[in-house]
Amino acid sequence: MDRSNLDHWEQLATVHGTGADRYYHLDSLVAGGTLMGAEEIDALRIATDEKGVAGLDVLHLQCHIGCDSITMAREGARVTGVDFSAAALSRLSSLAQLCDVEVRTVEADSRDLPHELDGAFDLVYASIGVLCWIDDLSGWMDGVQRALRSGGRLVLVELHPLLTMIDSVEPLVVDFPYNFDGGHVFSGVGSYANRDADVAWTTTQFTHGLAEILMASQRAGLRTSYLEEHTSMSFDPRGMDGGIESDGRFRLRLGTGAHDGSVTVDACPMPVLLTLIAQKP
């Protein structure tokens, strides 16, 4: 376990949902709302054959403070949240109590899940910003496979590796590779949810191309049943200037589009998100 990454997430667990947070609107969650995006809701709908998660055992992997755990518990799932941050799990337990739902918590490294979780779940759910912290993608997928019952499904909604390559659009800065090549160390202040948060950090992150994700899933014994690459998403995950368009969707456009005489159309949007659903035979 990378200690600097754990320290980073321990800090974030104490500040997310406080101050000028642009993502973790916890008052809305407590009042009965959800922080799930449309893509996550759709992924669960597809993975459950339109039946929903009610009555299912769901493992929320790298759950952080558990906002989606709470949403799924409200919908009738028996939810277990796994995270390596004790501070995050403590926040989750407090939030679950405020929301009057029950969520079991397990403090564990997602690359090496405890065997007590083996074969216990109908769904393993992981969403947005999880794989960049994983150096051992095969270990991660093996843990998913072990945790699933026969016929159970992985639901992964993740930032597209093309989006993670781009640090800024103007000027265009490409500071992260597409495929795995080891760890990359970054330092900064603030949080993706609040750039003014009093947090200083140094982290090590990893990249995994789409083919690498699919092949790791396949090697673990999971069969892909659904794959979608999204060219827009319901929120801006990295606070890029100008990324939110008039319809309220985030798109990544590089350069300009086609020229038609004196008219230049917008550049075509790039992939920004992926949905993978894979089943244990």
Strands (E), the chain: 57-61, 78-83, 103-107, 121-127, 148-159, 166-168, 173-174, 184-189, 200-205, 223-230, 259-260, 263-264, 273-279
Torsion of CA 141, 143, 145, 149, to 10 degrees: -150
In this prediction, residues 26-51 reach a mean pLDDT of 97
Does residue 119 sit in helix, strand or coil?
A: coil
Q: What is the CATH number of the domain that holds 167?
A: 3.40.50.150
The pTM score is 0.95
Tokens encoding 163: 């989006």
Overall size of the chain counted in residues: 281
CA 234 – CA 155 distance, rounded (Å):
18
Q: Tokens 């390559």 label which residue?
A: 165
Q: How many domains does the chain have?
A: 1
pLDDT in tens, 39-62: 999 999 999 999 999 999 999 999
pLDDT classification of 241: cutoffs 50, 70, 90: low
Q: Which amino acid is at 225?
A: S
One-letter identity of residue 181 = D
Token pair 């929120």 in the structure block, residue: 235
* Residue 223: domain span: 3-279
117-154 pLDDT tens trace: 999 999 999 999 999 999 999 999 999 999 999 999 99
